[in-house]
Structure 1
Amino acid sequence: MWMELFKLFQGGDSLASLSSEFRKMLALVEEMADQVRPNILDQQLTLEEKARIRKMDVKVNKLERQIRKRIIAHVTLSRDDVGYPLLLMSLVKDVERMGDYIKNISEVGELGGGAIPEGPLRTELEEIIGCAMEMMKAVGPIMDSQDRERAHDLILEGKDAGKRCDVLLVELAKSDFNAAQTTALVLLTRFYKRLGAHLLNILTSVVMPLHKLDFYDERSAALAQE
Structure 2
Amino acid sequence: MAFGFKRSTSSDDRLDNIEQIIQRMLADDRIVFDLAMSILLDGVDWKTVKREIKATDQRVNDGEREIRRDLVVHASVVGAIDTPAILVYMSIVKDIERIGDYGKNLRDLGRDGVELSDFPAWRELRSEVSQMIADTAEIFAARDHERATELLVRGDELLDQFDAAVSNLVRGEDDRPYAVGRALAARYLKRIVAHLTNVLSAVVMPIDRLDYFDEDPEDRE
TM-score where L is the length of structure 1:
0.82
Aligned-pair identity in percent equals 29
Deviation (angstroms), 1:113? 4.1
CA distance 1:192–1:68, change in 2 (3 Å): same
1:68 matched to 2:65: no
Deviation (angstroms), 1:15? 3.2
CA distance 1:55–1:10, change in 2 (3 Å): farther
Q: Which residue is equivalent to 2:81?
A: 80
Kindly tell me the number of residue pairs found equivalent between the two proteins: 208
CA distance 1:24–1:163, change in 2 (3 Å): same
Deviates more, 1:168-177 or 1:187-196: 168-177
Q: Which residue is equivalent to 1:99?
A: 100
Partner deviation per Cα, 1:141-199 (whole Å, 9 max, x = no partner): 11222221211111011111011011112333222334xx1232112111111000000
Deviation (angstroms), 1:42? 5.3
Q: Which residue is equivalent to 1:175?
A: 174
CA–CA separation in structure 1 for the residues paired with 2:7 and 2:195: 23
TM-score where L is the length of structure 2:
0.83
Helix, strand or coil at the partner of 2:212: coil
Is the 2:40–2:117 contact (alpha carbons within 8 Å) kept by the matching residues of 1? no
Aligned ranges for residues 1-226 of structure 1 at < 5 Å?
Answer: 3-4=2-3, 8=6, 12-13=10-11, 14-41=14-41, 44-77=44-77, 78-110=79-111, 112-116=112-116, 118=118, 122-172=119-169, 173-178=172-177, 181-216=178-213
Greater helix proportion = 2
Is the 1:94–1:202 contact (alpha carbons within 8 Å) kept by the matching residues of 2? yes
Deviation (angstroms), 1:20? 1.1
Q: Which amino acid in the other structure matches residue 151 of structure 2?
A: L
Is the 2:46–2:107 contact (alpha carbons within 8 Å) kept by the matching residues of 1? no
Deviation (angstroms), 1:35? 2.4
Helix, strand or coil at the partner of 1:82: helix
CA distance 1:189–1:113, change in 2 (3 Å): farther
CA–CA separation in structure 1 for the residues paired with 2:180 and 2:9: 50
Is the 2:149–2:204 contact (alpha carbons within 8 Å) kept by the matching residues of 1? yes
Specify every segment of 5 or more residues in structure 2 that has no aligned partner in the other structure, as ranges. Answer: 214-221
CA–CA separation in structure 2 for the residues paired with 1:161 and 1:128: 9
Deviates more, 1:195-204 or 1:124-133: 124-133
Deviation (angstroms), 1:9? 6.9
Deviation (angstroms), 1:37? 2.9
CA distance 1:41–1:9, change in 2 (3 Å): farther
CA–CA separation in structure 2 for the residues paired with 1:32 and 1:8: 34
Helix, strand or coil at the partner of 2:135: helix
Is the 1:132–1:158 contact (alpha carbons within 8 Å) kept by the matching residues of 2? no
Deviation (angstroms), 1:39? 3.3
